[in-house]
Amino acid sequence: MEKVEFYKIVEKLILPLFTGSFLEGEEESNARDSEVAFGKKNSVLIKPSKTDDYRLILKRGRPFQTFEINLLKSILSEMNKIHLLNIEDESYITVLQYNAIERSICSSVSDDETVDSMFGILNYLEKWSARTYEGNKIALGIIINQNADLSEQDEVINYTNLMDKDFFALLSDGQDSYIEFDKKGNLIGYIQLNKTKKSQSIAPYKYENLSKYCNDKKVGIVLTENGDVLIFKNNNLLFAKRLGGWNIYSHEEVIQLLSYRGNYSLKDIRRSIYYTALDISFAYSGGCIVYLNKDKVEQALNHINAHDIISEKYFEIKKKQILENASRLCDFQTLSIIESKYKVPFSEFLEQQKCIKSSSIRRIITGRPFHELSRKLRQELVSMDGAVVIDSDGTIIAVGAILKIEAGSEGGGRLAAATTLSKYGIAIKISQDGIMKAFYPDRKNGKVKTLFTVG
């Protein structure tokens, strides 16, 4: 494979899979080096074949995991097979490459005996994603049990004889109920997941039970009503196919990225922010979370309406800003009106200004920081129109804040809010189609840059 072609594959197909990764350069190599190998300082080294005299250096903030290395090996193997076909039709090559990515994903999470059946099941789910049943979009759930093999039994029902039938759409809902197949795609039965025992799991809130159920030998696959396909294993959401493309969910990598420039950042806060963004992403409600740097809060308050503030501490700072600006810019009569409005205790201000939303949320959260709220409550708060703004200690400054947007901001309201407040910390905008995009201020020039995109 020519170097130019390999670079193209890496930039187009491989880098987008690994959140936070980038191409650092290349190094010399020889025939003794593997096509895929761990490198120094959170990097991985890849080359098309053993005989190539170079290796590309892929790097990110956290070490690559073993399953990701196996995925890369499988992808390179599949890409070399496509290259040897000598196909000239670029559109056909693209189709083959995307299928190769999907098959490689199957190889990275399943045994050799399971790859074909898992790949076939994904193809059937792709067909179901374009269908409706009695006018409604379909959600399906499947569990592949790699410990089971029914192929020696007298009567077996394979997925190929089942998944194209109309009634299959009614057998599971992809949240509480699932159809179970063995390692070769033979039907085992039906599973209803009740609340499972406590265990470490990183997955959207609505799929937490499935994630905890899927250990190293059980693979969970969900087709959502929105047409997304999710893959769970090892108690985590590992992959999702959204808008036609596959994504790896490198959860710890993203949580680490949220500490960017956050010298006072607590891991519990970063983790709760990421979990909530993940929950919003798969609730398809949209949302915006802003995580402010400790030394930038007062500047950020200039963009937040006092009526949206729920923290008494930050209301007092906002009040001081308003009164100082008014004394400098307003005439005596206008200043008197503003002072009568703001020179009151916070609780009195909320009552006089009829701030029902802020008063209600204050009562609901009872002074707790963001990371001490339940996941479900955090999801509900962030789903509100506007932004949830928290400080470096997790104190919730505002919920559903309609921000004062700087002139020249582009995109919808949530995007404009995220890019405006990201000058003072990290802002995550979650779109209604589930894409999570985070922004941060560049150290050198202060301009807003993209920190990561997931989904």
pLDDT digits 0-9 by tens, 274-294? 999 999 999 999 999 999 998
CA distances from 22 to 18, 19, 37 (A): 9, 9, 16
pLDDT of residue 420: 86
Mean of the per-residue pLDDT values of the chain: 91
pLDDT digits 0-9 by tens, 319-361? 999 999 998 888 889 989 999 999 999 999 999 999 999 999 9
Q: Output the CATH code of domain 258-454.
A: 3.40.1700.10
Task: Give the global pTM.
Answer: 0.88
- Asked if residue 87 lies in contact with residue 50, where contact means CB atoms within 8 angstroms, the answer is no
Average pLDDT on 422-432 reads 92
pLDDT digits 0-9 by tens, 166-209? 999 999 999 999 999 999 999 999 999 987 666 789 999 999 99
- CA pair distance 54, 10, nearest whole angstrom: 14
Give CA angle at 162 (179, 156), nearest 5°. Answer: 85
- Of residues 135, 136, 274, the one with CA closest to residue 205: 274
Which is more confident, 419 or 114? 114
- Of residues 287, 278, 206, 289, the one with CA closest to residue 247: 278
Per cent of the chain over pLDDT 90 is 73
pLDDT digits 0-9 by tens, 51-67? 999 999 999 877 888 88
Do 111-249 and 258-454 come out as alike in CATH topology? yes
When pLDDT is cut at 50, 70 and 90, the band that residue 409 belongs to is very low
**Domain regions of the chain by residue span:** 3-103, 111-249, 258-454
Which is more confident, 204 or 16? 204
pLDDT of residue 174: 94
Q: Output the CATH code of domain 111-249.
A: 3.40.1700.10
